Each structure stands twice: as structure tokens, then as C-alpha cells.
Amino acid sequence: MRFGVDEASAQPLPPAELIRSINALTSEGGEQFFVEILRKPGKRTPRAGSDHGFGDGELDFEQD
């Protein structure tokens, strides 16, 4: 992730620091900012203990 006043000045930033950086910029009178979020490949795995199979066609609630 990169953050700055504009694209040219954007610097790498850990995701946990994004809100703090936005607040600091706006408290100094900044009216706009640039955020670049890059994706990274990965494979999501089901959470342990979850017995619900999403996409199985069943709903968890009753319909009228």
C-alpha cells in the first residue's frame, strides 16, 4: 500500500497506519489524498469449525 498527498509523493505504508495517516493529513488542512492498494495472490481456506457450505443452495432463514 502507498499513501501520500498525490501519486508522485506517495510512500509505502503499512495498512494498520492508513487511518492514522489520513487523520494526520486532514488535521493539517489536507483536502485530498492518494491511496494505492495492491493485491497479492493467495488462496483462502475455510475457517475451522464452520459447518456451513456456502453455495449449497440452502438458506439460513425462513421465507414467507
Q: How far apart are CA 9 and CA 6, in angstroms?
A: 6
**Where would I find the H helices in 1-64?**
18-27
Average pLDDT (3-20) is: 95
Say which residues have a Cβ less than 8 Å from residue 9's Cβ, sequence separation at least 6: 34
With H, G, I as helix, E, B as strand and everything else as coil, classify residue 36: strand
pTM: 0.59
Largest CA distance in the chain: 56
pLDDT tens-place string over residues 26-39 = 999 999 999 999 88
Q: How far apart are CA 61 and CA 58, in angstroms?
A: 9
